[in-house]
Amino acid sequence: MGVIIAMKGHPGTGKSTLAKSIASSLKIPLIDKDDIKDQTIPLQLTSPASFLNDLSYNAIWQIASTQLSIGLSVVLDSPLSRRIHFDRLRQLAAEYGVRLLIIECRAGDRDLWRRRVEERDGGGGHKPATWEELEKIVDGYGGCSEYDVEDVARLVVDTTETVSLDRLCSDALEFIFDHADKSLAI
């Protein structure tokens, strides 16, 4: 049985860094919503942001469907900030008979989180380049990012704790293997 490893968390919390490490360690596809969203930048002058965001999510679901249909597990990197996106992932997992796991990145140290956001490469693409831009995005979620994932196994990781990326990845891999079907061939 395959697995969908879905990253969750606000921008700048280390989701992409951890997702890359997990996908690399497991040698499975990484599907990053930012890769899709960055390609919609030319459309931002003519299309509402919500349309482009939905388009990006629909694209990653479609790419994930293709990978799952050929028997591959996937890592999906997105904020997963709205319940509707989580519900779509549950549907996708059920459709392909795979396990859905959530790895949620949080930043317990707000000051360190802010420094990381402000020190990254100017945001790049559509990513927030300043703390104020990030706060506006998080405010726009209107609290909807805090929802119950019900019976889906979830690991919450504080990416601002003083531990190495290798340790975070190791903990994530342990969680994945503890909750994935024992026949998972990764």
User: Which of 149, 150, 153, 151 lies closest to 178, judged by CA?
Assistant: 153
Domain that holds residue 68: 3-179
**What is the pTM for the complete model shown?**
0.88
Residue 182 pLDDT: 59
What residues form DSSP beta bridges with 31?
Answer: 76
**Residue 75 belongs to some domain of the structure:** yes
Give percent helix, percent strand, percent coil of the chain, each to the nearest 5. Answer: 50, 15, 35
Question: Which tens digits make up the pLDDT trace of 52-105?
Answer: 778 889 999 999 999 999 999 999 999 888 889 999 999 999 999 999 999 999
Which pLDDT belongs to residue 122? Answer: 53
Select the more confidently predicted residue: 114 or 124.
114
Q: Is residue 184 in a domain?
A: no
- Whether 162 has a pLDDT exceeding 80, the answer reads yes
Q: Which residues, including other chains, have CB under 8 Å from residue 108's CB and lie 6 or more apart?
A: 158, 160, 161
Question: Count of domains in the chain?
Answer: 1
pLDDT at 108 over 60: yes
SS3 30: strand
The CATH number for 72's domain is 3.40.50.300
Residue 109: closest CA among 56, 162, 156: 162
Mean pLDDT of the chain: 86
Domain-embedded: residue 17: yes
| Stretch 143-151: mean pLDDT | 79
> Does residue 185 form part of some domain?
no
- Specify the pLDDT at position 185: 47
69 assigned to some structural domain: yes
Express each pLDDT in 3-57 by its tens digit: 999 999 988 889 999 999 999 999 999 999 988 877 776 676 676 667 777 888 9
Q: Tokens in use for 96?
A: 């392909």
